Structure 1
Amino acid sequence: MNEFEMMAEIKDANLNYLMLAQQLIRSDKATAIFRLGISKDIADLLEGLSNLQLLKLSNANMMLARFRFDDSAILGMLTNYTKDRAQAHLHTAVLMAGQNAEAMAH
């Protein structure tokens, strides 16, 4: 994959992420804030963006979404479950809910 193709993929991923985020926020803001790992202020900003603003923002040359798994234990629980996948995901959700949304948004 060359540089141009990589940038096109990043822009496409950004647009998909922003559109999904906005849809989630408009549907259920509290749940969206948790699922996206963003603050209420960021959710309010994303909710109010026009389609043109979403498109302009998606054209950034960097990924707008990032992994929320700063803790390798959380990532490990999601990928290396051995018994009950649903229980592992629930445990991970509980741990992530305990993290400060502001810290995850940075």
Structure 2
Amino acid sequence: MPNLDSALLNDIREVNLSYLMLAQRLLRENLAAGMFRLGFDADVAETILKLSPAQLVRLAGSNSVICGFRLNDGQLLSSLTHEVLGGVLQQAHSTILLSQRDTSPA
């Protein structure tokens, strides 16, 4: 893997830390809804909730982005970007389509 410049590594760490902090917040506010929105199972949710601030920073320090992009299907992404329903119906449509995606690693 080629060396990444330090600005890019800092950006990755910032994204990772923001994601982990958001994940903890979503899970603390409403565990079931947070698990659904993040695509986490109970074990992952529990582990994320137990991380201390120091552990969050250490985990975020990876040189790889730790969050996964759920929209890895071109056809699905295309259908979600078209304004066919608008407003609240578009959000509901997106939520339904995303909830049907298999988020398990290949």
Q: State the 1:94 CA deviation.
A: 1.1
Task: Among all aligned residue pairs of Structure 1 and Structure 2, give the percentage whose two residues are the same amino acid.
Answer: 31
TM, length-normalised to structure 2:
0.85
Q: What stretches of structure 1 move > 4 A for 4+ residues in a row?
A: none
CA separation of 1:24 and 1:83: change in aligned 2, threshold 3 A = closer
Higher relative contact order (CA 8 A, sep 6+): 1
Cα deviation per residue 1:6-44 (whole Å; 9 max; x = unaligned)? 000000110010011001111111101111112111111
Checking the alignment, whether the CA contact within 8 Å between 1:14 and 1:64 is kept in structure 2 is yes
Out of 20, 23, 26, the residue aligned to residue 21 of structure 1 is 23
TM, length-normalised to structure 1: 0.85
Instruction: Give CA-to-partner distance per residue, 1:28-69, whole Å, 9 cap, x none.
Output: 111011111121111110000001000100000000112101
Does the CA-based 8 Å contact 1:11-1:60 persist in structure 2? yes
Structure 2 unmatched runs, 5+: none
Partner of 1:104: 103
Match of 1:64 in 2: 66
Out of 9-18 and 30-39, give the one that drifted further: 30-39
Contact 1:74 1:92 in 2 (8 A): no
Matched residues in 2 for 1:89 and 1:74: separation? 14
What one-letter code is carried by the residue in structure 1 that aligns with 2:76? Answer: I
More helix by share: 1
Contact 1:15 1:54 in 2 (8 A): yes
Gaps of 5+ in 1: none
Compare 36-45 and 66-75 and name the one that shifted more. Answer: 66-75
Count of residues paired in the alignment:
102
Superposition RMSD on alpha carbons, in Å?
A: 1.7
Letter in 2 for 1:73: Q
